[in-house]
Structures are given as structure tokens and as C-alpha cells.
Amino acid sequence: MVIYTVRPGDSIYQVARRYNVTPEAIAETNGIDLADSLVVGQSIIIRTDTSTHTVNRGESLYLIARQYNVSLDQLLAANPQISSPYIIQPGQTINIPAQAENLGTIDVNGYAYPNISMSVLESTLPHLTYLSIFSYHVRPDGSLSQINDTPLINAARQRRVAPLMVITNIDDEEGFSSDLARTILRSQTVQDNLINNVISTIRSKNYVGVDVDFEYIYPDDRQNYNNFLQRLSDRLRPNGYTLTTAIAPKIRADQPGTLYEAHDYDFHGQIADHVIIMTYEWGFTFGPPLPVAPINEVRRVLNYAVTAIPPEKILMGMPNYGYNWRLPYVPGTAAQTITNQGAVNLARREGAEIMYNTQSQAPFFEYYDDQAQRHIVWFDDARSINARLRLVNEYGLGGLSYWTINNYFPAQWVILENLYNVNKIL
């Protein structure tokens, strides 16, 4: 597999000839239309074992390595005929090493809303260990909202994917509610009712366990939340059900803020089978323009997380979307959510060149709309996905958790399967 960055003048047909593959194969692998022009700076995946590059005037091995998303050492190892990395000539043929690797077997979770397209779901299930269906909203009396999850559960089990029930402290009108969490966590009677309803739903719907995604819990409810998870675990274990928790991306134990303080990394690492760390949303809807999951920030979270949680329990969060901001950014204004494929399509329509930030390992571009309003778009591509997926191996993590799988982006799954085997527990 080669990750190729499109240069000015490239077409699918030219790139296909260069790598001795068919244009149809490139289009299918990347989910693009043969009739579409490539975008300068766009990254595309080419399934090939070998490839070559003809040196152009002004190119260096360093620039060629960056273009093909390989290291300089990998490039030199594939070209023993090069006596010095500083001496190459225009017209010289350079061997490009393929990136086929097997870094081991991991667990992969995917969150899905009940309204997911069944064709998207069927295409994604082969790449998953768990399907977390989002979500049952907890009510103040411990009852649960109802969702149409049966089709998703049945489809998952047919593909040997384990379905997880998801419960959240989402108020239908306000989103994640600190007050709702407090009502639950400060009443043993309400908790008893909630736990009974969770067990009953798992059993009747044929789930394998529950994923607890309680967010924005008041800091002084931290121990109450731990106590609830302990009581829930004590009921799940004898029935053979699993407990997964979703937690905020902290960089230290005492990190301030309502999003972070009640999430006790050490305790979650002890009580849960899997801990999903939501390593995304540095760039978010009402925030300033930033990459959604910059690798330098994800590393800071993982550096702390592996000191508090057994690494093999951690599922690193992976976003499957980007954002489009208007510039100059005005605090409080909302960015528009955009799919990764939609971002490339937008860049094509606007004639924008896709750039790549090496610190955050994330692509972006700018453009002006029809009203002469400037925009910036941050999203994910094959390069950024490849860089973050390698963190699972680097840190010895248990795997990944995608938010969400409702939009199909082929690069996510091609790169995943190139690097790892996906565990199947059913």
C-alpha cells in the first residue's frame, strides 16, 4: 500500500500508469468517481507492492519521502544504489517502499446512530469488534428512552460483531446534563431502577454488555460516579456481561473542568473491560479553528493515560469527520460539520489546494465562498489516519473506537486493515 499525495497536473489515469494499477482500482479503494479530477494535496491510497518515482528537477529524497508518506530511512533502505541521500539527479528512478505491515490484532469499536444507512453499516461491520449503538437516554427515575436498535443488533451479530448498549446522561432538550447525572448518582433507588433496566435491555435485545457514556458530571459527584460503576459492574459480571466506559481526554489526574474532573482514570482502568478515551474535539463546533484530533495533543493524553489505565484496556478515539469555519473566527459562532470525503469534494469545487500541517499531522485548506467569505476546513485523510493509527501499536493499546461510522470513508478501513488484524469475539 502506498499513500500518494497528488501533485499539480496529476490525474487518476496518470497515477494509475505510474503504479501499474487500473484507474478503477484507485477509484474503488478511495471511494472517488473516475470522472472527478484529483485535488492538489489530496492523499490517495494505492494498493500495490512496488512502485517507482522519477526524480523531477529540484526534488530531494526528503521531499519525495514526504510525498509518499514514508520515512527517509525507509526510502534509503529501498534504494541501496543511492550512495548519498543528498545526491540524486533529475530523471533518476527511485524505488518507493510499500507500507504493508501487520502490527498485531486489536479491538475496534464503532459508534452508530440507529438511522445509519444499512449499506454503510454492512460495509463497515467487517472492520469492527464491537458496535456501540447510540444511545439510550437515562431518565431521572432510572427508566430509559427507547431506540430502534434491533436491525443494527441483528446485522452486527450476523457479521460476528458484538453489539454494545450505550447509556448516556443526555437530556433531550439540553444535551449532556450535569443535573441529570446528579439525580442518578445521588439516589440509590434510582440507580437500582436504572441497573435493573440496563440488565433487562441487554438480555432482551441480545447485547453483550453496556458502554456508559456519562459526560459533564459535576466534580463533586466523582466518587458517586465511581460507586455507581462499581454497583453496575457487580450486577453485570455474574451475568457474563461486559462494562465499557467512555471518558474525556485528560492530560493529568487533576485536570480542571466539568468535562474532566469526575472521570477517574485509575478507577475506570480497574473496573471496566474497555475504556474509550475520546481523543478528539480539539477543533469543535463552537470553538476556534483547529484540527479535530491533532496527533501532538493525542500523544499528551496517551502519555498520561497509560500511567493510570492498563494500556490493553484503552480504545483510542478516532473521529470520522471534520469542520468548516468562517474566518475571521468570531467566538460563539458555529462551525459546520463536514465529512472527510465531503471536505475533498468541497476543495475540488472551490479550486483549493489541500495543505498538510506536520505538527498536528492533519490536512486543511482555505477558500472564499460566493459571498467572498473566507473559510478554513480541517479534516482527516489517509496521511493523518495512518499517523494516528500507529499510536495504538506504539503505546500498546487495546485498540480503537470510531465516532461515528455513520459516514463511510474508505481510507479509514483500508489503512486499518493494512496495519492490524481486527479481533472478532463472537
Domains by residue range for the chain, with CATH: 2-97 (3.10.350.10), 105-318+386-410+417-422 (3.20.20.80)
Reduced 3-state DSSP string for the chain? CEEEECCCCCCHHHHHHHHCCCHHHHHHHHCCCCCCCCCCCCEEEECCCEEEEECCCCCCHHHHHHHCCCCHHHHHHCCCCCCCCCCCCCCCEEEEECCCCCCCEEEEEEEECCCCCHHHHHHHHHHCCEEEEEEEEECCCCCECCCCCHHHHHHHHHCCCEEEEEEECEECCCEECHHHHHHHHCCHHHHHHHHHHHHHHHHHHCCCEEEEECCCCCHHHHHHHHHHHHHHHHHHHHHCCEEEEEECCCCCCCCCCCCCCCCCHHHHHHHCCEEEECCCCCCCCCCCCCCCCCHHHHHHHHHHHHHHCCHHHEEEEEECCEEEEEECCCCCCCCEEECHHHHHHHHHHHCCCCEEECCCCEEEEEEECCCCCEEEEECCCHHHHHHHHHHHHHHCCCEEEEECCCCCCHHHHHHHHHHCEECCCC
Digit-by-digit pLDDT tens for the chain (426 residues) are: 889 999 999 999 999 998 889 999 999 999 999 999 999 999 999 988 767 888 999 999 888 888 887 878 778 877 878 877 778 989 998 888 776 578 999 999 999 999 999 999 999 999 999 999 999 999 999 999 999 999 999 999 999 999 999 999 999 888 999 999 999 999 999 999 999 999 999 999 999 999 999 999 999 999 999 999 999 999 999 999 999 999 999 999 999 999 999 999 999 999 999 999 999 999 999 999 999 999 999 999 999 999 999 999 999 999 999 999 999 999 999 999 999 999 999 999 999 999 999 999 999 999 999 999 999 999 999 999 999 999 999 999 999 999 999 999 999 999 999 999 999 999
Residues classed as catalytic? 215
Please tell me the pTM assigned to this model.
0.90
